[in-house]
Amino acid sequence: MASGALRLTPWMPAARTRFKVDFLTTRAWTQAKNHFSASYQLPSDHPSAKALEKMPYPTTSLDHSIFEEESLEYTSTVEELNSSAERIMSSVQVLLQMVSEGRYAAAEKLHAELVDMGVSIPPSHVYEKAARYVLRPSFRGDPLTAFTNWFSLIPGANVKLRKFRGMRTQLFARDHIPRIDIIMRFGLIAASKGHARYITPEVISVVVRHTEPAVSTQYLADFEKEAMKWTKSAVRGMKGMKRGTLVLKDMHSLAVRTQAIAGRLGEAVALVQAARHRGVNISEFTYSMLMRRLRRAGDEQALDIVRELAPPHIQDTFDVPWTSASADEVAEVSTLASRLRTIRKAIKPHSCISHPHKSIADFIHDYRETTNRETAISLLRKRAFRCGRPSASDWVLAELHYHHSRNEFVHVLLVFKNYFHLLGVPADMVRFYIRTRVHKRRIGPGLLRVDRTHGDFMSTTKRNSRPKLWPTPYHTALVWGALLWMNDNSTVDRLYRRLRSQALQNPVMISAGDAESPGVSASNDEGLGNQKDGLAQTPSHVIDGAHFIPFLVAFTKRQQIEQAFQVMSDMVKLGIYPGVEHWTILAGFFARLGDARRVMWILDRMEADGDTADTRSNSDTGMPKFPAPTLGTYTNVMKSFIQAGRWHLALDVRTRMMTRFQYVAGQWPPTDRVLSVLKAYVDDASRSATVDRPV
């Protein structure tokens, strides 16, 4: 039939979708149609026109038998042709449909073709899906170029203000540091479209932390330029000026605080000077925090500069002494309720927790063992995270201490990975042990048993969606210690070589007390950080003396004297002066061996240098000075001599301790236990001498 032949004709497929020709406008098509019709128009005096006028009309009706009847097949074919005409889609609509359906590879190709043809692509929030797809680790290609292409198609804030929660989670809530260039591009594009309000805190802090001061300063200028350009064009009048002033204040204040937290106080002061020279205000909280850190660092010259730039009333509040819970106050509270109130009051907004971390860890242990519940601990954790990054970092440190004291080393790794970027630690080993041990109940002989039946509030399986915190040397030292005790002897040696290599790459430039910001690095084959051009030296990779303590303990327990001496030698070469903990471990090791000469030499040096002025090294020899001994030093040496059966040497050390500290029973329980053992030995020796005495 004719309808079937028409439908099956190869030169006119009825079911094919037709695309509209974007470059042929309606006006051009109308002109072409009129021109096409004009070629058949004739003047009225033309002979052909006169002949047509004289031609008569047909007198008989039309014969419809030459046409096919309108059957059902004919009707369906016509409807199909009409519906196909209604499905005309432009190339931009096809691109939107591809992105909506998740066909990102095909959308990439079509986008490139449209750009080459010069076709304008209207902005749409649908393209945010493609930009988030580029951020996946499985993406193949150039992520920076692809992300720029898709994210540039996001509409401005005048259409709809966006917070980009999902994209910010992908960029900032991972345990590893993503590419900084993508974060920088994300900030510039978002600022140029008026979305700087919600992305400034994370973007500016990450860029200032990770990049060199020259790079971060230039980025601040670019970010400010894009943000102010949109503000002036989209928000007019006094409202636009006020919003622009607030953006500048927040941005520069955040940059100053980030530099100060990273220990780069000179750069922070320079930023304040540059901002005030341009008339940009700095927040009062930023002034107070910067002056507090300058006072702690002893930089009076920089402190005077900041005081001159700060408003007068800030100086009055700065000198108010800061009070914290003392050890005596902590010891006085006995009940769980009173201890809970003390810890809750110590968690304050925008400040560190003014409570010892060990006391918090002890409270966590006592609360769980007594009540078998997690309610109070969960509330304290939520309060700490609401109060800001400093309190959150301190709370997680207490959790790490809790697990480390219980030898739950897998949980130490879980907590660290859940809340921190994997900086300053062997990231590959952390991921390996979590992947192989966290989901198993028992891992062979001698390995950890991961217990989840207690509803473990630390190593929860729920993924942390907050931006990752920046580890300090206190956090990373606990992770290195956990990895050490989870490995055998051969792995311990390899792990120590990695620690020493990282210490060589990141020399101690910032004290551990000020090391509260992270660094960025690219992982090499060893899992260590390699500094790249343009990336700043930051404290998260810094290795301090606490990192060497577990290795010193491991080598002394294995009676590897050469390795123990090598640890002390490496510390001195790296500019890390051994502390009282290191010499206490070494003295206890020699006491267990019965080497009285070396033990007494260490105690003599510690007592002699500890009584003099506090200087780093002796002026005559240039050697580092020994720290003053503590009660723990004498207690460890006495206990080690008792284990070696050298009772008389333990009594000599007791005499030295009594002479130096005037110790009274009850001051420290570990010392009391060792003294009670010595007293029992003396009493037994006296009774034996009385029995053996001849009558």
pLDDT, tens digit (0-9, with 9 covering 90-100), for 209-220: 888 888 888 999
Would you state the pLDDT for residue 604? Answer: 92
Would you state the pLDDT for residue 311? Answer: 83
Cα separation, 469 vs 415, in Å, equals 12
Q: Cβ distance 419 to 479 under 8 Å?
A: no
Give the chain's mean pLDDT: 76
CA end-to-end distance (rounded Å), the chain = 141
DSSP state of 62: P
Cα separation, 34 vs 163, in Å, equals 53
- For residue range 446-462, what is the model confidence (pLDDT) as tens digits? 333 444 433 444 444 34
Cα separation, 227 vs 231, in Å, equals 6
Q: What is the DSSP string of 341-386?
A: HHHHHH--TTS--SS-HHHHHHHHHHHHHHH---HHHHHHHHHHHH
pLDDT at 400 over 90: yes
CB neighbours of 672 closer than 8 A, spacing ≥ 6? 665, 666
pLDDT at 194 over 70: yes
> Structure tokens of 157?
């804030």
**Residue 575, Ramachandran bin (φ over 0: left; ψ between -120 and 50: alpha; else beta):** left
Write a three-state SS string for 413-469: HHHHHHHECCCCCCHHHHHHHHHHHCCCCCCCCCCCCCCCCCCCCCCCCCCCCCCCE
Phi and psi torsions of 224, nearest 5°? -65, -40
pLDDT at 199 over 90: no
Phi and psi torsions of 191, nearest 5°? -65, -35
pLDDT at 526 over 50: no
Cα separation, 592 vs 280, in Å, equals 64
Average pLDDT over residues 466-485: 86
Question: Coil, strand or helix: which one is 486?
Answer: coil
Q: Name residue, tokens 């860890």.
A: 361
Q: Name residue, tokens 């502390």.
A: 579
Cα separation, 119 vs 667, in Å, equals 82
- For residue range 257-304, what is the model confidence (pLDDT) as tens digits? 888 887 788 899 999 998 888 888 898 888 988 988 888 888 888 888
